Amino acid sequence: MSQNKALAELVEQAACCINMLSPADLSEAQDLQGILEKIGSVVGELGPRGEAVRTRLEGATSEAAQTLSRILAQEVDDSAAALDVISKAICSLQAVIRQLDDSVQPASTDVNAAVETPHHASSSPETGQADTPVATEAVTISEEDAPLVLDFITEANEHIETVESGLLELENQPDNNELINKIFRGFHTIKGMAGFLNLTEIGSLAHSAENLLDLARKGQLVLAGDNTDVVFASVDMLKKMLAGLSEALEAGRPIPSQPTLPQMLETLKAAAEGRTRPSPTETAKVQETDKKLDALLEDKADTPKQAASGAHAEEKIKVSTTRLDNLINMTGELVIAQLMVAEEINTGRLAEHELARKVAHQGKIVRELQELSMSMRMVPVQGVFQKMSRLARDLSRKATKPVDFVTVGEETELDRTVVDKIADPLIHMVRNSIDHGIEPGEDRVKAGKSATGRVELRAFHQAGNIVIEIQDDGKGLDKDRILKKAVDTGVVEPGQELSEEDVFKLVFHPGLSTAEKVTSVSGRGVGMDVVKKNIESLRGKIEIRSTRGQGTTFTIRLPLTLAVIDGQIVCIGSNRYIIPINSIVRSLRPTRQQLSSVQNRGELILERGELLPLVRLYRLLGVPPATEDPTQALVVVVEEDGRKCCLLVDDLQAQQQVVIKSLGDALGRVKGVSGGAIMGDGKVSLILDIPGLVEIAQMQ
């Protein structure tokens, strides 16, 4: 029993070792040679098993050992074919061991029961056919191996991001050998890690892609055009396999197999040999492309990983997001506790006491700690921008529109939660820019433009917010066509006068699409309304600027974080409320001449030539004010999406950075209120929702 287990473990070590080898990297060959010698020794000590079984074990071990010796002695002309022979021999050893009645599978095979050819190479010298995973009984991942698999998924996704960014750069720099090496190393590392865990399907795919890239490294193949498409397809399949592995791990289900893997392996092999890749009929090919594109458009953004840049890369450690969120919450509670202590000192006639100075110093430290903890949640938008670059590439090819997609400001940092949620709106906006905005090449030439369109995605900080802009040099928005569609669908009354800005905003209305035909990319009347809702849920704004024949710019303004807000504290009677600073235009005490009342429009204030609706907050919130006379109170002018209104309050207090707290599921969403904050005296003040209040003002 122990001999069988030892033999099985040695064979698994050999399988992992062969996965780490390639014709260009034989650094693990000595280790494999030692393992094969141990296997030969154990086979010689086995008890009577039947002549046929012993012969197969000894024959396979001898063939692998002799072939490896020839490779090390440089006595072979084709190292790749020789490594294939070793892979087949190790596969034979694994098959025989599984057939032994009293054999014991090593613990590592729990990760994936499909243990067969280590898939070092993509073809068999004898048949010339692609290796395909042998179907075996699937099992779930063991508890002991689960942490290793989790680490593998995280690291593999990071390498995939590196590979994908390298491929996108390589299309603009086809002669950059360092990029090819970077892409090769990504696949090589994934192959090695998958081999260690016996994730044979992932290992075989990574290895086959690695073989293709090895030819490109040697100058025997040009990584461009169809060859690049094949590598991109490999990346897509690896993402899918990793997602399936993650789901299986979380749900405790068997690891799913990838039915299209054999075809993908054959496609890679054909590309490496310069053959025409096997493909279905043209119609089926188009349908498959549509499905892949639709799936890509519906994907959620992966959590971006920050790549080390510059001459001196910072050392990093991985921290659970749950722990990080708990740290942010506890820091927020510490800030609140500090405010309470400071409030007690200030109101307890101890302002001149030594304790007051110490509390003030402590308050400074707490604020710095809060800023530091918040910065730990900040991640660059690089990962999302990279995904948009890949999306733009696929869309331009599908629409047969050459597009130069440019990204600026990938290093701009944003709260991780915001980054996760902004990806979906950006997907819809990029596809609309390419499908609706950019004209076909011949139309652009007729209009005096370059045949290649240009879409630029920018990110930068501005006035305490992050701004993301998507600009194209296409045909621009057709104001008349949008207005006609809005009238036809009943969104706008016939004859209703709208400004150009208001007409452009109609594209965010649900079901309003000006596309001439419905495609897999756009034209179903969905998408832009989702964009607006998602951005507003992040307390952001979206604006449109467009010039007919020159292009369109979408501007998204988002808060840096969703956990903290800079607010202006206002008083109504004995109650305090918080207005976000970014929404405030100005404050004033109106005169009698500025006040007016218009039938069917309620109370208005004439301020700097504008008639703005007046919202009496005390009525809306149901609290008694100190005065109902606007000339004895104060008015705060706020703005949302270009619309303004005046909020009547009794007085203004200090500006303060507060930690946002949810009102909870019991209260649900209250129109005009976005959350609460615990003040220094321990009382809760409501944070006013300016978009909701502006909407209420417009309805008066």
**What pLDDT is attached to residue 107?**
36
List phi, psi (to 5°) of 5: -65, -45
pLDDT for the residue 634: 92
Q: Does domain 379-559 have CATH number 3.30.70.60?
A: no
Q: What is the pLDDT of residue 668?
A: 59
In angstroms, how far is CA 662 from the centroid of its own chain? 25
Give the C-alpha separation, 659 to 563, whole Å. Answer: 6
Q: What is the pLDDT of residue 140?
A: 67
pLDDT at 649 (0 to 100): 92
Residue 336 gets which letter from DSSP? Answer: H
pLDDT for the residue numbered 301: 37
The CATH number given to 564-698 is 2.40.50.180
pLDDT tens for 439-475 read 888 888 988 888 899 999 999 887 667 889 999 998 8
pLDDT of residue 228: 84
Angle at which helix 528-537 crosses helix 416-432, to 10 degrees, equals 160
Separation of alpha carbons 200 and 132, rounded Å:
10
Segments in 527-573 forming alpha helices (H): 528-537
**Domain segments of the chain as ranges:** 2-277, 321-376, 379-559, 564-698
Q: Output the pLDDT for position 360.
A: 83
b/e per residue 130-158 (b: at least 16 CB within 10 A): bbbbeeeeeebbeeebbebbeebbeebbb
Please report, in angstroms and rounded to a whole number, the separation of the first and last CA atoms in the chain.
85
Same topology, domains 2-277 and 379-559? Answer is no
Identify the CATH number of the domain defined by range 2-277: 1.20.120.160
Note the pTM of the prediction, 2 decimals. 0.57
pLDDT tens figures, 116-158: 334 444 333 333 333 444 344 454 677 777 777 887 888 888 8
The CA–CA distances, whole Å, from 561 to 74, 464, 539, 634, 678 equal: 60, 10, 10, 30, 18
Where the chain has pLDDT below 50, the residues are: 1, 101-137, 139, 277-287, 289-290, 292-294, 296-313, 517-526
Q: Which of 535, 561, 159 is nearest to 376 (CA)?
A: 561
CA distance linking residue 538 with residue 525, whole number of Å: 23
